[in-house]
A and B are shown apart, each in its own frame.
Chain A
Amino acid sequence: AQRVTQPEKLLSVFKGAPVELKCNYSYSGSPELFWYVQYSRQRLQLLLRHISRESIKGFTADLNKGETSFHLKKPFAQEEDSAMYYCALGRYSGGYQKVTFGTGTKLQVIP
């Protein structure tokens, strides 16, 4: 079974401080990991994927298979980063994709 754990429900940081949103996963195969973000009153949208190895809005995330983690990081938090962040694991089964989301972490950036 696949599982995604986000241990922090709420993370409060000051503007300009580094941010790290934790995500651990449990899956026996080769996972595809994603971070989705939900800004206030907006729909969920993809922030980044592990296979693209890109930086979006200053955020990066590295897949660590040894630690089964996919933590989301940003060196300097901005107020506009305040949102709900979901880590997600995608796997293909029977030819179809199934995406499991973590419980989410609310990031609050204090001015």
Chain B
Amino acid sequence: DTAVSQTPKYLVTQMGNDKSIKCEQNLGHDTMYWYKQDSKKFLKIMFSYNNKELIINETVPNRFSPKSPDKAHLNLHINSLELGDSAVYFCASSQALGQGTGELFFGEGSRLTVL
């Protein structure tokens, strides 16, 4: 029944490693997002995909590479992890322009800790 689901919920890893976070939505939405919430609870958009195509890339380092195999999935791969990457990463989805209320539906978040 979960609308937007992310895995894993928790991820602890060493600096320099490569890791991925997966996101899936079963709402039939066309648009998916990745947001980063830092230790101060600031919530900042990283990427947005519409129907598998990248539409927003907010000056995120190249070490972050989103991949959307289909419109229900948006995965986030991070290379060469740094301490500053420690944060909670939220996936979200919304309906296409003109088809909804503009509401974002969020996943539960994936807490990444880089040691």
Q: Cβ of B48: which chain A residues have Cβ within 8 Å of it?
A: 96, 98
Q: Mark A83-111, 1 if CB is under 8 A from B, else 0.
A: 01010101010111111110110100000
> A74: CB under 8 A from chain B?
no
CA–CA, A4 and B30, complex, Å: 26
Q: State whether A96 touches B102 (Cβ < 8 A).
A: no
A-B contact count (CB 8 A): 60
Q: A43-B108, A97-B97 are in contact. Are A86 and B43 (CB under 8 A)?
A: yes
Q: State whether A104 touches B45 (Cβ < 8 A).
A: no
Q: A45-B106, A46-B104, A49-B102 are in contact. Are A96 and B42 (CB under 8 A)?
A: no
Q: Mark B62-97, 1 if CB is under 8 A from A, else 0.
A: 000000000000000000000000000010101001
Q: State whether A98 touches B45 (Cβ < 8 A).
A: yes
Shortest Cβ distance from B55 into A: residue: A96
User: Which of B33, B103, B107 is most buried by chain A, counting CB atoms within 10 A of its CB?
Assistant: B103
Q: State whether A104 touches B43 (Cβ < 8 A).
A: yes
> B101: CB under 8 A from chain A?
yes
CA–CA, A101 and B46, complex, Å: 12
CA–CA, A84 and B40, complex, Å: 11
> A32: CB under 8 A from chain B?
yes
Interface residues of B (CB under 8 A from A): 4, 31, 33, 35, 40-45, 48, 50, 55-56, 90, 92, 94, 97, 101-104, 106-109
Task: Identify 6 residue pairs between A and B in the complex whose beta-carbon atoms are under 8 Å apart, listed by A's number.
Answer: A34-B102, A44-B104, A96-B55, A99-B102, A103-B43, A104-B43
Q: A43-B107, A44-B90, A103-B40 are in contact. Are A97 and B102 (CB under 8 A)?
A: yes
User: Which of B33, B41, B44 is most buried by chain A, counting CB atoms within 10 A of its CB?
Assistant: B41
Q: State whether A99 touches B41 (Cβ < 8 A).
A: no
Q: A86-B43, A94-B55, A104-B42 are in contact. Are A99 and B101 (CB under 8 A)?
A: no
Q: Cβ of B4: which chain A residues have Cβ within 8 Å of it?
A: 43
Closest 3 CB pairs of A and B: A44-B106, A101-B43, A43-B106
CA–CA, A104 and B101, complex, Å: 22
